[in-house]
């Protein structure tokens, strides 16, 4: 009996020892697994941090490059030659100046008129400083009467408004200072079908002639505008209504 009890105790002790050993093995295995997971997580975190840092540097470099290109383009635009002139045809007393009989009198540094670069106004003409492409534009605004008693009306009660920009250039092969060629020309007909025999009921008709295009101009070229004298008397002089300008492309 004692022998059987001892055997049972030994068996229980052996079983307990085996359980503890198994527990230690399992604990060790779990510790290794935990360490492996922690190491894997750390690697992922490190890789992610490196990727984010590298990506941020690339984006920063691209952003800096784009910003630099944008500012460079702005500097190029702001440094381009340009001139914008406002048109007048009256004396300071507010009456038509008879000395102005073929063109609007162009003014710089009044209202919105300005210039920069080497483009300049001289003798009522715009001087081109160097070879290149330029956008040339001009607008003339008029106020006309559509009454049939107006001396300017034709038999069918129409008025033709015209405006022209001309160019002088050495490249034309002529030294004649009066040898100009037409760059821009526009005609608009007004008052058609609006005439009245009663001048008090006719009122006024407002119209503008605008034109603009790109030209390959040469250094020393001169640009001027031409208009009929009878149309100059009907010119609108308010700011922004009649203008002439050029800017380099």
Mean pLDDT for 110-136 is 94
Report domain extents, the chain.
1-79, 81-248
Pair 104, 225: CB distance under 8 Å:
yes
Q: Could you tell me the two tokens for 92?
A: 């300071």
Q: Which residues pair with 90 in a beta bridge?
A: 96
CATH top-level class of 81-248: mainly beta
- On the CB side of 156, how many CA atoms lie within 13 Å of its CA? 5
Q: How confident is the model at residue 91 (pLDDT cuts 50, 70, 90)?
A: low
Q: Is the pLDDT assigned to residue 236 strictly greater than 80?
A: yes
Q: What is the pLDDT of residue 26?
A: 52
- pLDDT tens digits, one per residue of 132-177: 999 999 999 998 877 655 454 444 567 888 999 999 999 887 777 6
pLDDT of residue 8: 42
Core vs surface per residue 200-236: b (16+ CB within 10 A) or e: eebeebebebebeeebebeeebbbbbebbeebbebbb
Structure tokens, 69: 């290109």
> Distance between CA 219 and CA 186 in Å, rounded?
26
Choose among 89, 69, 66, 85: nearest CA to 77: 69
């Amino acid at each position: 009996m004692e022998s059987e009890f001892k055997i049972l105790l030994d068996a229980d002790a052996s079983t307990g020892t085996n359980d503890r050993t198994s527990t230690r093995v399992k604990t060790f295995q779990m510790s290794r697994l935990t360490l492996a997971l922690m190491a894997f997580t750390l690697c992922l975190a490190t890789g992610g941090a490196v990727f984010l840092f590298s990506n941020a540097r690339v984006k920063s470099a691209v952003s800096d490059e784009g910003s630099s290109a944008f500012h460079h383009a702005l500097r190029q635009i702001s440094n381009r030659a340009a001139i914008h002139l406002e048109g007048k045809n009256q004396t300071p007393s507010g009456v038509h100046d008879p000395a102005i009989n073929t063109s609007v009198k162009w003014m710089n540094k009044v209202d919105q008129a300005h210039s920069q670069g080497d483009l300049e106004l001289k003798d009522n003409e715009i001087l081109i400083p160097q070879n290149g492409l330029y956008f040339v534009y001009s607008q003339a605004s008029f106020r006309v009467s559509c009454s049939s008693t107006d001396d300017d009306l034709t038999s069918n009660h129409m008025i033709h408004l015209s405006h022209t920009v001309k160019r002088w250039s050495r490249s034309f092969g002529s030294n004649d200072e009066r040898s100009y060629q037409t760059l821009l020309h526009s005609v608009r007909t007004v008052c058609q079908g609006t005439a009245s025999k009663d001048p008090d009921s006719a009122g006024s008709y407002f119209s503008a002639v605008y034109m603009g295009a790109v030209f390959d101009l040469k250094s020393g070229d001169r640009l001027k505008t031409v208009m009929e004298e009878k149309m100059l008397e009907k010119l609108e002089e308010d700011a922004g209504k009649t203008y002439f300008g050029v800017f380099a492309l």
